Amino acid sequence: MAGGSGFRFARCALGMRSLLASLRGLRIVAAALAARIPGAAWSMPLPVGLSRVRWMGVMIAVLVALLPPARLAPAQDAASGEAIYRAWCLECHGAEGRGDGPAATHMLPRPRDFVGARYQIRTTASGELPTDDDLMRVMRDGLPGTAMPGWPNLSDQEKRDVVAYIKSFSPFFERETPEVLQRSADPGGGADRALAGREVYGTLECARCHGEQGRGDGRSAPTLEDWRGFPVRAADLSEPWLFNGGMGADAIHTRFLTGVDGTPMPSNQDALEAGVVTEEDLWDLAHYVAGLGPAEAPELEEVVRVERREQLPDGPADEAWDDLPRFYFPLVGQIVEPPRQFSPTVDGVWVQGVHDGAELALRVEWHDPSNSPDPGWQEWQDKIAGALYSDESAIPVEPLPDLLALQFPMTFSDGRGRPYFLMGEGRNPVYLWLWHSRRGAVEGRATGLGTAEVVDSGAGLTASAEWEAGRWRVVFRRPLAAADDGMLSFSEGAPIPIAFFAWDGSSGETGTRGSISAWYFIGLQPPPSNAVFMAPLVAFLVTGGLGMFAVRRAQKSYRG
Amino acid sequence: MLQKTRLLATVAAAGLVWACGGGGDAGGDGDAGDAGGETAAPVVDPATAGAISGLIAFEGEAPAAERIDMAEEPECDDAYPGDGALTQHALVSSDGMLGNVFVYVKEGLGAGFPTPSQPAVLDQENCRYHPHIVGLQVDQPLLIRNSDPILHNINTQPSINRGFNISQPQAGMETTRDFGMAEVMIPVKCDVHGWMSAFVGVVDHPYFAVSRGDGAFSLPNLPPGDYVVEAWHELFGTQTANVTVGEGATAEVSFTFNAGMARNAVVPLGDPLIIKHAEDGSLTAVREPADD
């Protein structure tokens, strides 16, 4: 097994100790997250009626057909698989394959238990084992939305060996040969069928767990458990890039029929056979669910473009926000300082900004199935605390609020010298906008985790918030200029660093347990100036002049 | 698309006795009903067959039933006027008898009992499972029915068999499954309605029963012999007794549970499972408590 930086990263991503040691900046994790987000590689134009997964299937089939027969099914070497397993998999999945490695207690969902052999992502019927191809796919692509990464450092043969080894943990594989569940082909129509799919969403009562808007906030959501009794989230259907089984209508349709074993998500194969739903219904539903989120994972941009407008939007629901660009920033658990949070609720924020030359308005939007504090989620909070926090400091028992902190440098001149991303440090503090789900926003200052104190820039920060169907939208407003010289003033032109810290109270997140982003920027659009009109004019004249000059010379030399 | 889990031993066993026919009523009916077990296995000589019968008693104060908040499902909630629906984890009668105990012959029987073709039934009505405890034989069909006009999902959580999780979004929908290996017990739950819970006991012979509300059970038509009988309760754990059945005799055996046993109750899901292969091709499973 060779070295290499990708290799090393993958190792430390799973080796929690080395991950902690190497985490000087969360940018590494953010970059890794961005790299893991599927999308970029899939952007080829597709023939009509062929979804991505099937198109890949066709390509794989063609490639396989071109291979010499001897390479079709190379022997699997469980002994070689064991060596690889011990190097890469054991930290999470444990020496005996029971999903109880040293890092497992930090994770929700817990790592797969290969002995119980309940596999979520399969192409087989509910209750069946996965095929080798199913296991290979997970090793190749990982399970988005979980701690399981893809393994580009392992060759296909090595992956096959690992598959042979992990199957050897469970006697089920000796007794049964899984068969791929036959599914109907997509009848086509794509997004046009989504409206009909909304009806099926009602028939199958998907909203009971996934919520009316699909954000995982259904009535049963706070009670859901996996097969080992650990709390499990109903998938947020509007964030398909985090679907365990991958995005796109075909993958979604597969989950409808296979179910997601070990979780509350049932198979609808029996309902199909009983005629409660038709083949067409399920495809309509697949297109509806696919349409609840973007077709591709959101691209990470560094800078929030804060446009200049005559008028600022009124509140979080003002339609004026719809015309402004949205920027997505991934968040990951705060795992540098204890107590840590490895499996946070908030996995990203959408940010929009607008200013009018005197005041800045930022709308931050994120998905959180609970409007905390909410007694209806108290049991969930206790279960999360029991599953994730038992090895560290005090477990919260009170219903906790949702919180959001926007971090900025305390003062700012040239765009460099950002404070430490975890709430700054002694000589380089951060300036904070601290929002509390029941008390609104205050300004703050911090010199490290847990040191936030309320300060007042004299400028007057206000916030208005709205929680609706599993989504927070908070609008912050503050005059660009601070009254106090020692506080941050927002100026046009130079990008100003910004970072995010979010807490879901109903998951017991408070203090250092929450999710955090790396540093990004907001850039305020300057007012239209004369330069804007002069530059094109100058360019036009220079180009025209050079053109005339060239023509003249050519004419001269032709005559000569 | 019913995928059947097959076990070599039971397949072989079923083959051996297929010619004998058989079948009969198995599986509990009613919340604490007497669970059949009266299969006439032709291998049993009626002239010498005996029986085991007894009572399940309960000492001490039973955990109080709690009210289930079904307000979110008016269709179900309306079926429980007055105090509303109450939990039924411990079904203790006024004279201290315990219902819903699964009693079965754990050791002492040979193989080769025919598989009934008549299904055991697990119904979902008014957001509850009926019965709460179901017994059936290996490979015997389990008919799962939804009698409610709302979505239920049936999430089975066995350790030895393969667990399935299916939706039943419509009243009247029926699904038939079976379990290929003996397993006591298989938890069943509905994730939509977290209070819904049932247990399925799968054994490879017809000698099982569920104690009624008055604590009584019986295992008729048993060949004479020495047996180990186990009584299982979802809160109070298991107890076993050695019983000798003489020719044509009914052996009496009783079990007493008490509230103090509750901590030894249901083995948590997810405990590591060790499956052992015996020389005769049969498989047994043992759970080991997790280290933590």
List, edge to edge, every strand of the sheet that includes B120-125: B128-130, B120-125, B142-146, B174-177
d(CA A506, CA A374): 7
Measured between beta carbons, the chain B residues lying within 8 angstroms of A174 are none
Residue indicated by tokens 């979080």: A316
The CA-CA-CA angle for residues A547, A552, A554, to 5°, reads: 95
What mean pLDDT do residues A48-65 have? 46
pLDDT of residue A160: 96
Residue indicated by tokens 């089984």: A245
DSSP annotation string for A68-112: -GGGTSPPP-HHHHHHHHHHHTHHHH-TTSSS--TTGGG-SSPPP
Question: A329-371: per-residue pLDDT in tens?
Answer: 999 999 999 899 999 999 999 999 999 999 999 999 999 999 9
The answer, for B143 touching chain A at a CB cutoff of 8 Å, is: no
Query: And the tokens for A439?
Result: 């008390």
pLDDT of residue B5: 37
Which residue type is seen at A445?
R
Q: How far is CA B21 from CA A114, B136, B137, in A?
A: 39, 17, 15
* pLDDT(A468) > 50: yes
Break chain A into its structural domains and give their ranges: 5-36+74-175, 303-524, 533-560
A419 DSSP 8-state letter: P
Average pLDDT, chain A: 85
The answer, for B117 touching chain A at a CB cutoff of 8 Å, is: no
d(CA B152, CA B173): 10
3-class state of residue A397 by DSSP: coil
Hey, what CATH topology would domain B8-287 get?
Answer: Immunoglobulin-like (2.60.40)
Residue indicated by tokens 């998999």: A89
Which residue has better confidence, A60 or B15? A60
Instruction: pLDDT band for B263, please (50, 70, 90 cuts).
Output: low
Q: Which of A352, A241, A359, A339 is nearest to A293 (CA)?
A: A241
Hey, what CATH topology would domain A303-524 get?
Answer: Immunoglobulin-like (2.60.40)
d(CA A432, CA A499): 10
Question: B175-228: per-residue pLDDT in tens?
Answer: 999 999 999 999 999 999 999 999 999 999 999 999 999 999 999 999 999 999
Question: How many Cβ pairs within 8 Å bridge chains A and B?
Answer: 122
Contact A273 B174 (CB under 8 A): no
Whether A370 and A505 have beta carbons less than 8 Å apart is answered as: yes
Break chain B into its structural domains and give their ranges: 8-287
The yes/no answer to whether this complex scores an ipTM above 0.90 is no
Nearest residue on chain A to B5, judged by CA atoms?
A176
pLDDT of residue A77: 86
What mean pLDDT do residues B124-137 have? 97
What pTM does this model have?
0.80
Query: And the tokens for A510?
Result: 């408070």
Residue B93 buriedness (CB in 10 A; 0-12 / 13-18 / 19+): middle
pLDDT of residue B62: 85
Nearest residue on chain B to A170, judged by CA atoms?
B275
Whether A237 and A245 have beta carbons less than 8 Å apart is answered as: no
Whether A339 and A475 have beta carbons less than 8 Å apart is answered as: no
The answer, for B170 touching chain A at a CB cutoff of 8 Å, is: yes
The answer, for B197 touching chain A at a CB cutoff of 8 Å, is: no
Query: And the tokens for A386?
Result: 């029991």
One CATH from 3.40.190.80, 3.40.50.720, 1.10.760.10, 2.30.30.30 for A5-36+74-175: 1.10.760.10
Instruction: Give the dihedral of Cα atoms A215, A216, A219, A222; nearest 10 deg.
Output: -140
Contact A208 B151 (CB under 8 A): yes
d(CA B146, CA A82): 46
3-class state of residue A318 by DSSP: coil
Contact B272 A227 (CB under 8 A): no
Contact A227 B273 (CB under 8 A): no
Whether B100 and B91 have beta carbons less than 8 Å apart is answered as: yes
Contact B72 A271 (CB under 8 A): no
d(CA A19, CA A29): 9
Nearest residue on chain A to B292, judged by CA atoms?
A100
Instruction: pLDDT band for A394, please (50, 70, 90 cuts).
Output: low
d(CA A216, CA A208): 9
Interface of B with A in 30-89 (CB under 8 A): 72
DSSP annotation string for chain B: -PPPP--HHHHHHHHHHGGG------S--STT---------TTS-TTT-EEEEEEEEEESPPPPP-B---TT-HHHHTTS-TT--B--SS-B-TTSBB-S-EEEEEES--S-PPPPSSPEEEEEETTEEESSEEEEETT--EEEEE-SSS-EEEEE--SSS---EEEE-STT-EEEE--SS-EEEEEEE-SSSTT-EEEEEEESSS-EEE--TTSEEEEEEEPSEEEEEEEEETTTEEEEEEEEE-TT-EEE--EEEEGGGGGG-SPPTT--EEEEE-TTS-EEEEE-----
d(CA A543, CA B124): 81
d(CA B100, CA B92): 9
Contact A204 B169 (CB under 8 A): yes
3-class state of residue A371 by DSSP: coil
Contact B165 A265 (CB under 8 A): yes
- Helices A5-14, A27-36: inter-axial angle, 10-degree rounding: 100
Q: Which of A144, A524, A500 is nearest to A328 (CA)?
A: A500
Question: A411-420: per-residue pLDDT in tens?
Answer: 876 555 789 9
DSSP annotation string for B37-100: -----TTS-TTT-EEEEEEEEEESPPPPP-B---TT-HHHHTTS-TT--B--SS-B-TTSBB-S
3-class state of residue A530 by DSSP: helix
Which residue type is seen at A217?
D
What mean pLDDT do residues A115-119 have? 94
Nearest residue on chain B to A257, judged by CA atoms?
B166
pLDDT of residue A40: 29
Interface of B with A in 1-20 (CB under 8 A): 1, 3, 5-8
Of A100, A262, A269, the CB nearest to B1: A269
Min CA distance, B40 vs chain A (Å)?
31
* pLDDT(A533) > 90: no
Other beta carbons within 10 Å of B135: 28
Of B5, B165, B194, the CB nearest to A223: B194
pLDDT of residue A78: 87
Q: B241 CB contacts (<8 Å, ≥6 apart)?
A: B228, B229, B231, B253, B255
Which residue type is seen at B2?
L
Contact A179 B3 (CB under 8 A): yes
* pLDDT(B13) > 50: no
Instruction: pLDDT band for A23, please (50, 70, 90 cuts).
Output: very low
Q: Which of A218, A149, A389, A381 is nearest to B193 (CA)?
A: A218
Other beta carbons within 10 Å of A318: 15
Question: B20-79: per-residue pLDDT in tens?
Answer: 333 333 333 334 333 444 444 446 888 999 999 999 999 988 888 889 999 989 989 999
What mean pLDDT do residues A240-259 have? 96
- Which of A26-35, A473-482, A506-515, B115-124 is predicted with the least confidence, judged by mean pLDDT? A26-35
3-class state of residue A161 by DSSP: helix
Query: And the tokens for A349?
Result: 């924020």
Contact B168 A271 (CB under 8 A): yes
Q: What are the φ and ψ backbone dihedral angles of A27, each rounded to 5 degrees?
A: -55, -35
d(CA A313, CA A322): 10
Query: And the tokens for B100?
Result: 């819903």
* pLDDT(A298) > 60: yes
DSSP annotation string for A267-316: B-HHHHHTTSS-HHHHHHHHHHHHTTS-SSPPPB-SEEEEEE-SS---ST
| Sign of the alpha-carbon dihedral angle for A310, A311, A317, A319 | negative
DSSP annotation string for A442-465: EEEEESSTT--EE---SS--EEEE
DSSP annotation string for A12-29: HHH-HHHHHHH-SSTHHH
Whether A456 and A449 have beta carbons less than 8 Å apart is answered as: no
Question: A269-292: per-residue pLDDT in tens?
Answer: 999 999 999 999 999 999 999 999
d(CA A159, CA A78): 10
Peptide bond into A339 cis (omega under 30): yes
Which residue type is seen at B118?
Q
Q: Which residues pair with A428 in a beta bridge?
A: A425
Nearest residue on chain A to B150, judged by CA atoms?
A205
Measured between beta carbons, the chain A residues lying within 8 angstroms of B5 are 127, 175-176
Please provide the size of chain A in residues.
Answer: 560
Nearest residue on chain A to B285, judged by CA atoms?
A171
Widest pairwise Cα distance in chain B: 57
pLDDT of residue A178: 95
d(CA A257, CA A471): 29
